[in-house]
Amino acid sequence: MQTRAPFHIVLIEPEIPPNTGNIGRLCAATGTHLHLVGKLGFSLDDKHMKRAGLDYWPEVKLHLWESLHELQQTYPQGRFWYTSKKAQKSYINAEFNHGDFLVFGKETLGLPEELLEAENDHTLLIPIFSSAVRSLNLANSASIILYEALRQTGQLDQ
């Protein structure tokens, strides 16, 4: 696989171990760094998370942070994209750059309203076409947006 600037997936207080495990596997497959921020809703030793990530955990570039602020201070030049079903801009209309941070909120609450308001220009939506569906699965959402970012930056070209 070609060498490339990695993307970063940031999970703020993830609650469901299999989602984080599946995202860990996604990160291992794409060379993406995984950042877990804040209080986790499970132990990193959780058997469900490990099962979802299979034996790929040694390949995951995992970083743990107390807060999003701490992560942002460590990467002051980083560009952060925030995801929300309340956003106005589709992820398709974002212009991703190598090394961008893709930020996802906890499964039950999403990202804090004040963060979304402050970062409105960098907040993205995955369209849902049925009013009967409130949201997509976290691991699916991370995959959709990451692969669009990889496509836009030419990293899917073999």
Q: List, as one string, the DSSP characters of 11-58.
A: EES---HHHHHHHHHHHHHHT-EEEEES--SS-TT-HHHHHHHGGGGG
Average pLDDT over residues 148-158: 90
Average pLDDT over residues 70-86: 96
Q: Greatest CA span in the chain, whole angstroms?
A: 42
Using DSSP's 3-state secondary structure scheme, residue 144 falls into helix
Average pLDDT over residues 106-131: 95
Q: pLDDT at position 2, please? A: 43
Alpha carbons 151 and 89: distance in angstroms, whole number? 18
Q: Tens digit of pLDDT for each residue in 3-56? A: 456 899 999 999 998 899 999 999 999 999 999 999 998 888 767 666 655 678
Using DSSP's 3-state secondary structure scheme, residue 104 falls into strand
Q: pLDDT at position 1, please? A: 39
Confidence band of 144 (pLDDT split at 50, 70, 90): very high
Q: Decide if pLDDT at 98 tops 70.
A: yes
Average pLDDT over residues 83-111: 95
Domains and CATH numbers, the chain: 8-152 (3.40.1280.10)
Give the pTM.
0.92
Mean pLDDT across the chain, nearest whole number?
91
